[in-house]
Chains A and B, each alone.
Chain A
């Protein structure tokens, strides 16, 4: 809902100006990062003199030449692919599991349903760090002896462990989306004797496509932005651990790290431009009862 038309126009501008002022540090900080990636030196303020335009950082980044001197080489595409695998994995696991659980919490009445919903809410508030110590011990105890599977195992494990963090909230979100579908849609199917599983797959899933998209997008971003879990469990580097390691390295060239950061930020920006409504609405969906 928007405010009504009777308000005086000029006050709107004051509010917009105040918002702009409050947002200034945020806008400045992010734009300086992006500008610096196109400059030979770090751009420290918005005065035109401090920008020395160049594409060198990006070229060096894509060739994996991360040091200004010497021959240190990395495969940035491989690192980006690792990040993408984790993000897609988390997204797939979270979306699938919460679409299943959300349906039954929304539509089927069973003993323990209420306590299960309370449990999910509590798990959402549960301290992740308390878990990660235990999750790591489980990882160590189940670590494969055969070294050929070690890399694969660490990918599977980090995806499942990170997905587990998102599942309580996503299940609630998905339940909220199922709640908005009128009951009559499944009615005909159930009257005809179809099982709930068939009804879920054939009737309900196509109806909540927007919900599935929202949950998939949110969990993708959760997997994409993660640093704690990938640095703890994943053997291969991701963009997050690449940036973490290179800030401190003696040889690192700051504008090149800025380029790496901008590169890492790209999917987020793309989603911001293309999926605004999903981002703004999806967040509020999870808190309704």
Chain B
């Protein structure tokens, strides 16, 4: 590589690499380090050098066996990720196929509408569902059901453990997640040659048959992509859960996934325990990194990376 090319490359790439170094690499090393200290309440002066080895990992393992709160968090994580993933993949597929078969104007309207949960400010989105599922009679759901005479007393939906709390967090996050599948599948559908659909139509196939026999089989790669990517994102994201728990809309133990548990243990109210939080975060990262590599291998991403055209 000659000097001029090196200079040009560093001009283009160094800002990005600097950001990756500052906000990914250093924090990762620091998280691993904190997980081996007794850090609590962000008392950096006192605990930064209080090295305790694998103590926090032992604590996590002990809690996993004996602490009912932590067991609830693990259980919630498994149920939440599993069910929301299914809703996201099939909901996204259903939306993409449904908007494929209707006229362009209505299709755009519905696609935009379903992008709204992802695009809204997280505080507003949480606020909307806070009113909707509120445990008193001002809650929309309670008000509707009482008008219809189905219930006589308002029900605190999110406080019914475990399934009430689980249903609320799955519903709220499910609506955010479907748009990812919808967008990916829509762009996949647009790349399928039009002739295939026309030929099937001429042969008298129904929309359902076209979907099952032609469109879905041709989107296998995209299904896998949405499935694996959404799995990782559900496992590791927590912003759309944070306020629901903070505002006591859902039960604390059965509304908290592992990722949110890490955040609340490190930054939540009351006693904070960053050592423990960092240990749990490291475990999440390991799962995330392994999952990421498996995804790349399964999806054969490398094959899609072509050499740039015309470079010399």
Contact = CB atoms under 8 A, between A and B. Distances in A.
Is chain B found bound to chain A in the same assembly?
A: yes
- Of A29, A30, A101, most buried by chain B (CB within 10 Å of CB) is A29
A4 interface: yes
B277 interface: yes
Q: Is chain B's binding surface mostly helix, strand, loop or mixed?
A: helix
A205 to B, nearest CB: 12
A44 B306 CA distance: 55
Nearest to A228: B239
A109 B312 CA distance: 8
Nearest to A119: B20
Contact of A12 (B8, B20, B103, B292): B103
A107 interface: yes
Interface string B228-261: 0100110111110011001100000000000110
Q: Is chain A's binding surface mostly helix, strand, loop or mixed?
A: helix
Given A23-B110, A30-B116, A131 B28 contact: yes
Interface in A239-289: 239-240, 243-244, 247-248, 254, 257-258, 261-262, 264-265, 268, 271-272, 276, 279-280, 283-284, 287-289
B102 A131 contact: no
11 contacts: A29-B131, A32-B131, A33-B124, A100-B11, A125-B236, A126-B292, A129-B262, A129-B263, A134-B27, A164-B23, A283-B115
A265 B292 contact: no
B307 interface: yes
A280 B108 contact: yes
B304 to A, nearest CB: 3
Interface in A1-18: 1-4, 6-7, 11-12, 15-16, 18
A72 interface: no
Nearest to A131: B27
A243 B108 CA distance: 31
A127 B236 contact: yes
Given A4-B197, A4-B201, A137-B30, A45 B143 contact: yes
A288 B284 CA distance: 28
Interface of B: 1, 4-5, 8-9, 11-13, 15-16, 19-20, 22-24, 26-31, 34, 42, 44, 95, 98-104, 106-108, 110-117, 119-124, 127-132, 137-140, 143-144, 147, 175, 183-184, 186-187, 189-190, 192, 194, 197-198, 201-202, 207, 225, 229, 232-233, 235-239, 242-243, 246-247, 259-260, 262-263, 266-267, 274, 277-278, 281-282, 284-285, 288-289, 291-293, 295-296, 301-302, 304-311
Given A227-B242, A283-B115, 10 more contacts: A3-B201, A15-B207, A128-B236, A129-B238, A133-B27, A133-B278, A134-B27, A138-B30, A225-B119, A240-B123
A265 B140 CA distance: 20
B119 A221 contact: yes
B16 A101 contact: yes
A224 interface: yes
Given A29-B129, A108-B8, A272-B112, A287 B120 contact: no
A228 B121 contact: no
Interface residues of A, number: 107
Contacts of A228: 122, 238-239, 242, 263
A167 interface: yes
A226 interface: yes
- Of B124, B198, B281, B289, most buried by chain A (CB within 10 Å of CB) is B124
Interface of A: 1-4, 6-7, 11-12, 15-16, 18-19, 23, 25-30, 32-33, 36, 42, 44-45, 47, 96-98, 100-101, 103-104, 106-111, 114, 116-119, 121-123, 125-138, 140-141, 160-161, 163-165, 167, 171, 183, 187, 195-197, 200, 221, 224-228, 232, 239-240, 243-244, 247-248, 254, 257-258, 261-262, 264-265, 268, 271-272, 276, 279-280, 283-284, 287-289
